Amino acid sequence: MGRSYDLRDLEYWDARIREKVEEFGLRCFPQEFEICDHHEMLAYMAYSGMPSHYPHWSYGKAYEKLKTLYDYGVRGLPYEMVINSNPTLAYLMRDNSLCLQILTIAHVYGHNDFFRNNFNFRTTRPEFTLSTFKAHADRVRAYMEDPSIGAQAVEAVLDAAHALALQCRRNLAVRKRTEEEIREDLRERSRPRTDPFRSIHKPPEFEEPDLRKVPPEPDEDLLLFLRDHNPYLAEWEKDLLTIVHEEAQYFIPQIETKIMNEGWATYWHKQILDSLELPQDLHLEYLVRHNQVVQPHPGGINPYHLGLAIWNDIRRRYDDPEFRREHGGRTGLEEMFATREADRDASFLRRHLTPELIRELDLFEYSPKGEDLVVSAVGNEEGWRQVKETLIRNVGMGTVPVIKVHDADFHGNRTLLLVHWHDGRDLLLEYAERTLEFVYRLWQREVVLETMIEGRRTHLIYNDRGFASRTLK
């Protein structure tokens, strides 16, 4: 595949694509493209696309892994990589054909529109993305070069922080209350309400809220909690926890909208390319490429395929006049635009994945049975609900167990009590054990995690004697 194009060709096609983008009503940030070769692309992928990022061995690992997969042809490189920033930054592979570049540019505008308009991204401050990551990198490097700290100590804290980075609040659109505000609420709630019939009612018993409890209510932000409640952490350690937490917050919206976002970009690159009146050879190549992208992955889920299928289905259903009349009068396109603003994968699937579509896509639920994985539900009358529920649980942050700090002074000896909100899925023990060790490293005192293992309430404990587990009655 030779490069039979130059920058002017890209600019020409970009101009035509932008016309379509506006015609279709997408609202994008300004767009910047950087042309790179596969070495750079691998590096960008390993560092989440950021031109500047703090060093950690896990990115070296990611790079090696990507490169190995690429070298052995197990996996190609993505045609494109887009990062959520304003202006939006995207990388194009230099060695791709002109057709792929056109397809990619159109796809990028789809992501760009999604980043700008989906509510999950409201908190990401895209104007500052690049400078924030740069500032983080500078601070981490400074700590590593500081002779009183050093690379090893920094790495140890980063290892622990990375392990806990996703143990945080999921719905970022809701503001986090400070501990003082929570205490105020507790006080408020415990105050007896004025009762007009107090002469005939028994006065309610006054229950004094435990305002000294830390945290006043279960806290999901593990890194921030450790940072704010372990006075023995050094300032630089606290700063590292802050950095890792901030970066995780930036990525959570992307985790939460993977299916929607890829489906959306795919839907629009198809609309745009179909309307561009491409010359015949480009058009044929585009059809082949597009079909590769949206190929179903039997035995797995291809988010491009699933996402596109749902977007197409929304458009089809709402464009049917009868359906529209019954469901609030929006056209297919209006419904799509409203959805791209207000949903995340879980709600997207809940609202728009119909039993018919489940059947059509042959989605099924599998469960472990002995040594095998066995199909436990399919998209028929009895099974579709179950398939759908299970899928919803397995997307976005649904794959991250919910674990909250319940007590920083458990047993009155500063033991940290964490509680896993068990929803039928057990934790992987080997991983729980090693992760608890990281919590212990940051808390510096005994840590207890309450969870369920095979139906029994269990305490996993990590302290200076190592790991232990105790089944509760």
Span 261-300, contacts to other proteins by CB under 8 A: 296-300
144-163 positions binding other proteins, by CB under 8 A: 155, 162-163
Output the smallest distance, CB 321 to other proteins, in A.
Answer: 31
Q: Which of 82, 103, 310, 403 binds other proteins (CB under 8 A)?
A: 403
Q: Interface residues for other proteins in 445-464 (CB under 8 A)?
A: 454
Structure tokens at 24: 């279709």
Comparing CB distances to other proteins, the nearer of 332 and 363 is: 363
Nearer to other proteins (CB atom), residue 181 or residue 362: 362
Tell me if 378 contacts other proteins by CB under 8 A: yes
Q: Is 33 helix (H, G, I), strand (E, B) or coil?
A: strand
Q: How far is CA 90 from CA 176, 210, 293, in A?
A: 32, 51, 18
C-alpha–C-alpha distance, residues 259 and 257, integer Å: 6
Strands 456-463, 447-453: parallel, antiparallel or unpaired by DSSP?
antiparallel
Pick from 173, 284, 373, 468: which binds other proteins (CB under 8 A)?
Answer: 373
| Alpha-carbon gap, residue 354 to 356, rounded angstroms | 5
Query: Is position 138 an interface residue for other proteins (rule: CB under 8 A)?
Result: no
Going by their DSSP bridges, the two strands 88-93 and 80-83 should be labelled as antiparallel
Compare residues 242 and 390 and give the one whose CB is closer to other proteins: 390
Minimum distance of other proteins from residue 281's CB (angstroms): 23
Which of 174, 165, 312 lies closest to 243, judged by CA? 165
Q: Provide the CB-side half-sphere exposure for 168 (13 A, CA).
A: 25
The answer to whether 284 and 323 are in contact (CB under 8 A) is no
Q: Which two tokens stand for residue 463?
A: 């302290």
Q: Smallest distance from the beta carbon of 423 to other proteins, in angstroms? A: 9
Q: Which residues ranging from 64 to 103 are in contact with other proteins (CB under 8 A)?
A: 64-65, 68, 87, 94
Pick out residues in 316-355 that bind other proteins (CB under 8 A). none
Tell me the closest approach of the beta carbon of residue 230 to other proteins, in angstroms: 19
Span 33-62, contacts to other proteins by CB under 8 A = 33-37, 39-40, 42-43, 46-47, 55-61
Which of the ranges 15-23, 128-136, 280-288, 406-414 carries the binding residues for other proteins, by CB under 8 A? 15-23
Indicate the residue type of 455: G
Q: Which residue has the tokens 């887009």?
A: 82
Decide if residue 245 touches other proteins (CB under 8 A).
no
Binding of residue 106 to other proteins (CB under 8 A): no
CB of 43 to other proteins, least distance (A): 5
**Alpha carbon distance 428, 460 (integer Å):** 12
CB atoms near residue 268 (< 10 Å): 26
Q: Is 371 an interacting residue with respect to other proteins (CB under 8 A)? A: yes
Q: Which is nearer to other proteins, 13 or 318 (CB)?
A: 13
Does 186 engage in binding with other proteins (CB under 8 A)?
Answer: no
CB 396 within 8 A of CB 256: yes
Report if residue 227 touches other proteins, rule: CB under 8 A: no
Alpha-carbon distance values, 271 to 90, 215, 256, 307 (Å): 20, 51, 25, 15
Q: Which is nearer to other proteins, 87 or 355 (CB)?
A: 87
CB of residue 255 to other proteins, shortest distance in Å: 9
- Tracing tokens 């889920």 back to the chain, one arrives at 301
Residue 235 tokens, joined: 């300032």
126 cis-preceded (ω within 30 degrees of 0) = no
Q: Does 394 bind other proteins (CB under 8 A)?
A: yes
Count residues near other proteins (CB under 8 A).
94
Nearer to other proteins, 20 or 270 (CB): 20
Task: Report if residue 428 touches other proteins, rule: CB under 8 A.
Answer: yes
Footprint on residues 196-215 left by other proteins (CB under 8 A): none
Q: Is 467 in the site for other proteins (CB under 8 A)?
A: no
Cis peptide before 215 (omega within 30 of 0): yes
